[in-house]
Amino acid sequence: NAGVMQNPRHLVRRRGQEARLRCSPMKGHSHVYWYRQLPEEGLKFMVYLQKENIIDESGMPKERFSAEFPKEGPSILRIQQVVRGDSAAYFCASSPGVGRSRHSYEQYFGPGTRLTVT
C-alpha cells in the first residue's frame, strides 16, 4: 500500500523561475492538503483540495502561489517567480475524508519537497 508520494524530493530554482511540486495521495484518498515548513518555523497549512476543487486556500500567499488537483493525475503546487523567502520544505498530506472508520480523518504526510531558491 503505497504512501503519499511527492516529487521532486529536492528542487533548486533561481530567483524568478517557476517551481512545480507534485503530490500523489494514498490510494483511496480524495483529500489533499499542502503545508509549508520554513526554517526554524512550524508547519503551516496552505491549501486543502479535493478532486477538481479548492476547498480552502486561507493559508496560501495571495500572490505567486496556486494549487490544483485535477480529475486525473497528481495535485500540483505552483510557485511563480520564486524568491529566496520561498525556500522551505513543502509537505503534502492526504486523507480518505468522511467515512465510518475512526481513522477516516487522519492525515498522512508525504516525504516532502525541499525547495531551495538561489
Partner 1 sequence: QKEVEQNSGPLSVPEGAIASLNCTYSDRGSQSFFWYRQYSGKSPELIMFIYSNGDKEDGRFTAQLNKASQYVSLLIRDSQPSDSATYLCAVKVPLGSGYALNFGKGTSLLVTP
* Footprint on this chain of partner 1 (rule: CB under 8 A): 31, 33, 35, 41-45, 48, 50, 55-56, 59, 91, 93, 95, 97-98, 105-112
Q: How far is the CB of 67 from partner 1 (least distance, A)?
A: 14
Cα(35)–Cα(92) distance, rounded to whole angstroms? 6
Cα(87)–Cα(115) distance, rounded to whole angstroms? 5
Burial (0-12, 13-18, 19+ Cβ within 10 Å), 64: middle
Q: How far is the CB of 33 from partner 1 (least distance, A)?
A: 7
Q: How far is the CB of 8 from partner 1 (least distance, A)?
A: 15
- Closest CB to partner 1 among residues 8, 16: 8
